[in-house]
Amino acid sequence: MNVRHHECCDLVADIRRYDYFPTGPSEKDLVNTFFPKTVSDLANDLSNVTSAFYGIFLELLIDVVGHNKIDPISKKFFYRLGRMKTAAVLDNFSEHPILPKDARGIAIILISAIYNASPEYNFSIMHYSAEKCVITLTGKDRYFRISSQLGIDELLSWPTLTPFFEGINDELELNCTITPVIRKLAADGSCNIEYNIEANDE
């Protein structure tokens, strides 16, 4: 691309270098009209697409498997996602001292997932030890937002991240219990959820 002086477009120019505009709207007009203006805009747009995919897929599954089957599917999805995310982190950072193989490791992998895939969450580490971690997530829960928009939120168990934590726990081969406390979960996705991660006695 030859378009410059556009923050987000400049940052991803390497990805867009094979785009070709032979006729029609100019590259400059298309970028200025449709390209996210900032990296934050891009991240939030991708987050909206992710949540829409999740919600619409479950909504369509109702016609195939019935109302009572989408919650187990959602749980299995998040569990598998937690295991997959953990495996990817272990492949790249297994020897890094920031990734201890105890309750703290679950917290660290959650943070890595927020950094690269869940921009609408903000995290607060309230307690951090090998035996116990307490994490509070605020910001927006995109999955509750889309489920509320589609009217399927009452068919699902909340918070959806609990099986994600459980997948992390199992992939790390830990023996921790994850207990969520929902303080706020609104239709617009606004949330305040505390996750308690406690190591069980061997």
CB 133 within 8 A of CB 48: no
Does CATH place domain 46-199 in 3.30.1380.20? yes
Residue found by looking up tokens 């068919």 in the block: 155
63 exposure class (CB count in 10 Å sphere: 0-12, 13-18, 19+): exposed
21 exposure class (CB count in 10 Å sphere: 0-12, 13-18, 19+): middle
Three-state secondary-structure class, residue 16: coil
List Cα–Cα distances, 174 to 133, 180, 187, in angstroms.
13, 18, 34
Sheet harboring 190-199: ordered strands across? 121-128, 132-140, 190-199, 176-185
Quote the tokens at residue 139.
């910001």
| Listed residue (110, 116, 137, 135) closest to 125, CA to CA | 135
Three-state secondary-structure class, residue 167: helix
pTM given for the model = 0.90
**Residue 200 DSSP one-character state:** P
List per-residue pLDDT tens for the chain, 202 residues long: 444 557 788 888 899 889 888 788 888 888 888 999 888 899 999 999 999 999 999 999 999 999 999 999 999 999 999 999 999 999 988 778 888 999 999 999 999 999 999 999 999 999 999 999 999 999 999 999 999 999 999 999 999 999 999 999 999 999 999 999 999 999 999 999 999 999 997 6
**Phi and psi (nearest 5°) for 152?**
-115, 10
Quickly count: other Cβ atoms within 10 Å of residue 7's Cβ: 14
| Secondary structure tally for the chain: helices H, strands E | 7, 4
Per domain, the residue ranges of the chain are 1-35, 46-199
